[in-house]
Amino acid sequence: MIILLLILLILSCSPERDNIYDPKSKYYKNTGNLFGYVLDSKERKIKDAEITIFGEKNKNLFITKTDTNGFFQFINIPLDSYLINISKENYQKLSFSKKINNYQIETLYLRLNPLPYLKNCQLRSYYEERFILPESLSLNINCEIFDENLKEVYLLLPTNDTFYLSHLKNQIYERTITAERVNYNFDDLVGKSFLIYLVSNFSDTLIYQTPPLIRIIRELPEPISPINGEVTSFKPTLIFSQPPLYFSYTYFIKVYYLLNNRFPILCYQDSLIPKNDTIVLISDSLIDGLYLWRVGVKDEYGNKALSKEALFEVVSKKLCWKEKP
């Protein structure tokens, strides 16, 4: 009995050389594994999210990306406390620290919040179309924005003027800025880009640059006939000059009826007139009265400009016959 106790005592004092948890064992592993999935706030799997881990003690750096299922793994990495960063374009970054232990079996489920981003942007200059004059030279900004978690969006001009964009429909945001709203000559903005600021619900601010404003059209066609209150038929023919422009463009016509000879109301318009057609026949019948007309130019990017006003009068044949002596 005494001999058996001695044998047990000797065994209990000897190192456990085959114990995988014993650092002195030849089977002991000083590395660990890290597994995980990256999802968004709606549980959608995120592909190609980048995961970087940096050892706080050993300064080891490891980088990988998620697969199509949002899965990532680090196999046999040195035991350490790691600073972990997860990033993906148009998503909010995530950072945290985690200690890697040997024989650790754990799967992380990490979530990134989608951020708004600018998908498309158009910048145009044109005369704002109104049914009642006067019209004003304006700048129009039209943006397509992925607006999940979008709080607000605004435009910053090189003049440091700030204008908030309004939600038009779906993911379209828009703002029209008249020349009267800016203490700056719009001509000086040609060739310049503006800045779009997207502010997320998480207070992230993302800055995008618009395409440059291509042109403000100053060389304009001029009305030739009828002008200065000339009397015409109820289907007048409008004639205008051809400006010396060296880019692709079309004409458009706008005719206003002067209600009570004072209030101009848009009553006829014709668009997409080829640039070589400077004679236009109005197809609609106009009632007797005074009219204003203008001819405009529109380029392939949507920039518009309008000529000065010309005045004519429509007098029916019956009225003309009565006025004869």
Sole residue written with tokens 């592993």: 29
Is residue 225 predicted with pLDDT exceeding 50?
Answer: yes
* Domain region containing 88: 30-112
Higher pLDDT, 159 or 37: 37
Task: Tell me the average pLDDT across 121-146.
Answer: 84
Task: Tell me the average pLDDT across 47-56.
Answer: 96
Q: How many CB atoms lie within 10 A of CB 252?
A: 18
**pLDDT value of residue 14:** 52
Which among 100, 109, 104, 106 is positioned nearest to 82, based on CA atoms? 100
**pLDDT value of residue 133:** 66
The first and second tokens of residue 65, run together, are: 């990306």
101 and 123, same domain (yes or no): no
Task: Tell me the average pLDDT across 208-218.
Answer: 92
Sole residue written with tokens 């200690």: 99
Q: 251-288, pLDDT tens digit by residue?
A: 999 999 998 888 889 999 998 899 889 999 998 889 99
Contact status, residue 210 vs residue 293, Cβ threshold 8 Å: no
Higher pLDDT, 212 or 322: 212
Task: Tell me the average pLDDT across 115-139.
Answer: 83
Q: What percent of the chain has pLDDT over 90?
A: 64
**pLDDT value of residue 20:** 60
Of 112, 143, 174, the one marking the end of a domain is: 112
Q: Is residue 215 part of a domain?
A: no
Of 112, 132, 152, the one marking the end of a domain is: 112
Q: Which residues have a Cβ under 8 Å from the Cβ of 58 and sit 6 or more positions away?
A: 78, 80
96 and 139, same domain (yes or no): no
CATH code at 106?
Answer: 2.60.40.10
Average model confidence (pLDDT) across the chain: 87
Task: Tell me the average pLDDT across 236-259.
Answer: 93
Q: 80-124, pLDDT tens digit by residue?
A: 999 999 999 999 999 999 999 887 778 999 999 999 999 999 999
Contact status, residue 141 vs residue 123, Cβ threshold 8 Å: yes
Bridge partners for 236 per DSSP: none
Total tally of structural domains belonging to the chain: 3
Give the amino acid at 269.
Q
Instruction: Kindly report the length of the chain.
Output: 325
Which among 39, 51, 53 is positioned nearest to 112, based on CA atoms? 39
Higher pLDDT, 137 or 9: 137
Q: Is residue 16 part of a domain?
A: no
Q: Is residue 7 part of a domain?
A: no
308 and 241, same domain (yes or no): yes
205 and 276, same domain (yes or no): no
Q: What percent of the chain has pLDDT over 70?
A: 86
Of 95, 112, 129, the one marking the end of a domain is: 112
46 and 131, same domain (yes or no): no
Q: How many CB atoms lie within 10 A of CB 98?
A: 16
Q: Is residue 70 part of a domain?
A: yes
- Cα 290 to chain centroid distance, Å, stands at 44
249 and 177, same domain (yes or no): no
Which among 30, 100, 109 is positioned nearest to 62, based on CA atoms? 100
CATH code at 189?
Answer: 2.60.40
Strands of the sheet containing 94-100, edge to edge, are: 61-65, 50-55, 80-87, 94-100
Q: Is residue 22 part of a domain?
A: no
Q: Is residue 23 part of a domain?
A: no
